[in-house]
Amino acid sequence: MAERGLFARLRFSRQILLLQVGVVVLLLVVGLALVAALLRNTLTDDYGQRALAIARSVAADQAVVADVAAKRAGGALQSHALAVRTRTDTSFVVITDDRGIRLAHPDPTQIGQPVSTDYRVPIGGGEVASAVEKGTLGLSVRSKTYVKTPGGRIVGEVSVGFETDDPTADFQHLLLVAGGFGGLALLLGIGASALLTRRLRRQTHGLEPHELTELLYEREAVLHGIGEGVLAVDGENRITVCNEEAGRLLGIALPVGADLSELDISPRLRTALADGAEVTNLLAVAGERVLVVNSRAVRHDDRELGTVLTLRDRTDFETLTRELDSVRSLTDGLRAQRHEYRNRLHTLSGLLQLGHRDEAVEYLQTLTDSVASGAGPVGETVADPYLQALLVAKTEQAVEKGVALRVSDDSWVPAATTDPIALNTVTGNLLDNALHAARMGDRRPATVEIALLAQGSELHLSVVDSGDGIPAELRETLFTEGATTKLTPGHGLGLALARQAARARGGDVWLGDPGGENSGALFVAALPGIVGGGPDGGELP
């Protein structure tokens, strides 16, 4: 238990090193054992085959066959056997008759004695090869064959053997060579394991497995727990990390490994990623949403790892800001009217106090006619209160900018609208751009005219200004976020938002006439299903 605890306390990289070294050692030991067994068997068989070949050559000698058939023990047969033994460096050459009685033997005292091992196989016409047996001369590797006369009768056997020390010496030599190669392989294995362990430690920055697991849990918790969208790309603009919020805000699928240049993303996002520079609070449009984008380049040890983008939803805030601007404009207009009417009331009070009754009545009549004729730019042609308020506010803004804003005489919106936010987004942005173009244009007086016409539940509107028109280089990218003729930063979203809001309802916003020498630009919008029922609750004409 103590040793196991000590191993567990080692760093993961060292555990891997020890395990790899252990595996290498185990494989080498098992391999050497197999090699040793194969070598021993091979050497035994080799010496047995050599003994069998010698025995066959002795048994084929006609002088030997004649002496064995005549059972002449010793003498020439003994001399011949000893000569073969000396010449072939074998341990023994033994010749017997057909009953196993020795006729030649290295030990002359054993001649005439029966052999100590089984002789029935060769006498029966068979052969024994590579048998490890113990006889009077000790343990040896021996082979046996029969002695046959020319007439085909088996008259004896020849047994040739080598002492087991002979193959053992060769085996030890070969085993020593194999052990040397095994030791070299062990050193190479340990070196490779050490290099692999070092690379593993470098790749994991020295972190342990439990630390990597905790980092994974923390990464998942942070990515999916925050309310912002997070999108990370590598140096080749391939997505490496993203959370669900990023996909929801962008309105597209963001599979890991996908090339961001092939996805339908905002041009501003694409530009920010292509430049590689840090971006702070960049406004971009994605679907119906206005996003605040921040971009940071990621580096580690002077190595560029990619870019991380954070996305925040600013749609609701942008809507509230535009509504607040409309309310503020309307309030400023009402405040100006309040001062004007206060001055008129003071004048009327002074006339009455001075006793000029007839002049007071005439002045009051004049004021009444003025109010009746100046009820605003819309009169009774536009029934929607939100649209009325927007037009009143924009009229006041136009006056402040020296621009005359008119509502076309043929305008007709007889009922309230069903989506005032979308309508105000489209109308407000078109009017803002038209007022700016008219004010900055060369034509005077500067004018903007808006036409509103309800056709059933669909509302058509057009806005034309007296400005200089749309430059040719901007006409193709006019509705792309970031495209603007204004010099100050933070612009280029109005037309993109207007078109997005219109298309979200199945409508559209487009450039009807780019303008030029004779007139300013004309923008047209169609918003289906945005006008409610008529005053009596029935369908609109």
Q: What is the mean pLDDT of each run of 10 residues along the chain (541 residues)?
A: 53 69 77 74 81 91 90 89 89 90 90 88 87 79 90 91 68 69 75 74 65 61 65 78 75 76 72 67 70 75 73 67 63 61 74 80 68 50 83 82 88 88 85 90 90 92 91 80 52 75 87 84 92 50 42
Q: What is the pTM of this model?
A: 0.44
Q: Which residues contact 216 (CB under 8 A, 6 or more apart)?
A: none
Task: Report the pLDDT value the prediction gives residue 95, as an integer from 0 to 100.
Answer: 92
- Residue whose pair of structure tokens reads 């009331």 in the numeric block: 345
Distance CA 484, CA 490 (A): 10
Task: Report the pLDDT value the prediction gives residue 524, as an integer from 0 to 100.
Answer: 94
The fold of 376-541 is Heat Shock Protein 90 (3.30.565)
Helices (H), 254-295: 267-275
> Residue 401: in which H helix or E strand, if any?
helix 385-401
The fold of 215-313 is Beta-Lactamase (3.30.450)
Judge contact between 519 and 513, C-beta under 8 A: yes
Amino acid (one-letter) located at 338? R
> Beta strands 404-407 and 447-455: pairing type?
parallel
Task: Report the pLDDT value the prediction gives residue 318, as an integer from 0 to 100.
Answer: 60
Judge contact between 496 and 315, C-beta under 8 A: no
CA 47 to chain centre: 64
Distance CA 236, CA 388 (A): 52
How far lies 314's CA from each of 135, 290, 375, in Å? 103, 5, 36
The fold of 15-170 is Beta-Lactamase (3.30.450)
The tokens describing 168, both together, are 């053992």
Side by side, the strands of the sheet bearing 303-313 are 239-242, 229-233, 303-313, 289-300, 279-286
